[in-house]
Amino acid sequence: MEERTIQSTKKSVTDIPATLLRAMYVTMLRMRRFEEKTADLITKGEIVCPCHLYIGEEAVATGVCAALRKDDWVFSTHRSHGHYLAKGGDSKALMAELYGKTAGCSRGRGGSMHLASPEFGLPGSSAIVAGTIPLAVGTALASSLQGTDAVSVAFFGDGAVNEGAFYESLNFASLKKLPVIFVCENNLYSTHMPIAACLADTDIYKKAKAFKMPGVRVDGNNVVEVFKAAERAVKNARQGKGPSLIECMTYRWLGHVGPNCDLDKGLRSQEELDYWMKRCPVKTFEELLLGRNIISEAEKTRIYRGIEKEVEEAIAFAKRSAFPDKSELLNNVFKT
């Protein structure tokens, strides 16, 4: 099965511009290195806010956001770093936010789980499971009423399928034929619970049928497959054909939160983790691009060095940036 997937990918890249393939590779590698550095900084105690890291899931955000425009809207979750970077967010502003500095994308008030960058089409992310799904439907409704062709995307984990907001959102979006795409990042665990222990039917993509919308399951570690599915869904949405549900099968390498693997908790096995790490989305895509002569070894080295420099500069920027002043504590706080 895995071999057929690789062969299929080799054929499918022929109709994707080389510039876009390279851009997706750079985005995935930027996510990976940023998250690896973040994990190190958490371990050292330099970053103290809770961070849900995106390592292992890079192909999902990259493939989906590569099919979007800057004026399209993306709503994220507690595992938000990848979505922010894929939508064009600045790595310096992201790192500063993790340090709680005013130069952060949420001015140091949001931390890892509440990133916001409206200028790049990311109005916000939330730690409330399924909380941003209705918000994506809301911006899609606004696009429909305003007569624009902007598309909204709701990213959410498999655990969000347990929430009523998920079903209500799919129903309303389908009823009004709204330009919204529901992207489930199925990493097989709802916090620490295996998906089969909390969902009677684990074929999440099939739930779209009840709401008369397209539903598809893709290999979430295959950025080309994710991009193709997103591209079709975006095209349908822009043409007024309504919403789609894309279930991306993927896996987070680290624990639900923090820099550790959670193997000591007995929640998953070393064999399971090893299996998914061998299917590394970044490495697999890199090998494909090298094999197709879309990038060279020399270019790969330049990309690696450039990203390493970018991340180090982001860390330095965050460290020298100022913390919010105590006098601003009650700014932007609503009261009744």
Q: Write out the two tokens for 137.
A: 């439907």
Do the domain assignments include residue 327? no
**Quick one: average pLDDT of 242-246?**
98
Chain segment 110-121, per-residue pLDDT in tens: 999 999 999 999
One-letter amino acid of 317: F
Q: What count of other Cβ atoms lies within 10 Å of the Cβ of residue 332? A: 7
Do the domain assignments include residue 52? yes
pTM: 0.92
Do the domain assignments include residue 334? no
Do the domain assignments include residue 47? yes
Do the domain assignments include residue 330? no
Domain hosting 66: range is 25-318
Q: What count of other Cβ atoms lies within 10 Å of the Cβ of residue 152? A: 28
Separation between Cα atoms, residue 331 and residue 262, nearest integer Å? 38
How many domains is the chain built from?
Answer: 1
One-letter amino acid of 199: L
Do the domain assignments include residue 251? yes
Do the domain assignments include residue 13? no
CATH number at residue 135: 3.40.50.970
Do the domain assignments include residue 10? no
Chain segment 184-197, per-residue pLDDT in tens: 999 998 888 888 88
**pLDDT for 14 beyond 80:** no
